Amino acid sequence: MSFEIPTPRETLELTMGDGATIRVRLHGNPDGPRIILGNGNGFAADGYYPFWSLFQDQFDLAIFDFRNHGQNPTAISGLPAHNYAQMTLDLNRVFREVNAQCGEKTNIGIFHSMSGRTAMKHACELGFKWDALILFDPPNVPPQGHREYERMGVFEQRLYEWAMGRPDRFSDPNELAQHYKDTRAHATWVDGAHELMARSVLCKDEEAGDWTLSCPREFEASIYIQAMTLNLWPTAADIGGVVKLFGCDPEAKGAPGPAFANKALAEDGGYEYQTVSGTGHLMQIQEPEQCRDGVLAFLEEKGIL
């Protein structure tokens, strides 16, 4: 199978407070309720197309990459501004500008991993602005002394070391796609997703003739290490609105740290929570239909649809 992203009906070129550019692509049904969707660290929102394409007929889709990812140019503010505090402000501006330029309507936030963490921080610090917030596997690190603190520390440190050592130049996107296929955590993505994600996270270096990561590896690594001092372990009441956690399967072979951390966060914080059976951290690309069904069932239960 080969995935091709449809041409957006419109692209919003948004300027963040420090001058960084974020490109929001509008897809789907403009008359439907709006889904605003962002990416995980080191990935790109277009790579989640196997998941978000399932919402195209019913929902108005605002798809965007967080700063220094995917279709966005590298921000002139660089690595010092590549942090959760700035991304929280970015999310606030994206929300505000999408509603200002496209009209206010029902807004459903769907965020994975890094962007899920950012959405939590945004809700806690700047107020809950959504009709519903749906978070896929935000890999929050609990406070020191918590039963899952050590496991998450190991998880983030390993990812930091991996990111700092990963290849950052490729002869073509197929080289990176094969790397995804050979990696246990990504091997079970749906057919065609490896090639799609590779195309989505790479940009052509016309001068050198090869391909580079749109999110430099040092930027990706910094997000992993920031997790250890982010101090983000909010309750559902702290979030302040309709929210649900979807977690990868802690019973799956080789389950990563977030599988256990999200289960613990749900237990500690009183979240509505659902495990996506048989999945790892990139569950939306492993089991897109199962994830879609969970989202729709939750929205219907809450009277949002």
* Domains in the chain: boundaries: 10-301
Write down the residue that tokens 């889904």 correspond to.
Answer: 35
Q: Given this model, what pLDDT does residue 185 score?
A: 84
Q: Given this model, what pLDDT does residue 184 score?
A: 82
Q: What are 37-47's pLDDT values in tens digits?
A: 999 999 999 99
Q: Given this model, what pLDDT does residue 52 score?
A: 98
Please state the pTM of the whole predicted model. Answer: 0.97
Tell me the pLDDT band of 3, cut-offs 50, 70 and 90.
very high
Tell me the pLDDT band of 253, cut-offs 50, 70 and 90.
confident
Of the chain, the percentage scoring pLDDT greater than 70 comes to: 100
Q: What are 220-251's pLDDT values in tens digits?
A: 999 999 999 999 999 999 999 999 999 999 99
Tell me the pLDDT band of 102, cut-offs 50, 70 and 90.
very high
Whether residue 258 contacts residue 272, with contact meaning beta carbons closer than 8 Å, is answered with no
Which candidate, 24, 42, 265, places its Cα nearest to that of 139? 265
Q: Given this model, what pLDDT does residue 163 score?
A: 95
Architecture (CATH level 2) of domain 10-301: 3-Layer(aba) Sandwich (3.40)
Q: Given this model, what pLDDT does residue 171 score?
A: 95
Q: Given this model, what pLDDT does residue 146 score?
A: 97
Q: Tell me: pLDDT of 178 over 90.
A: yes
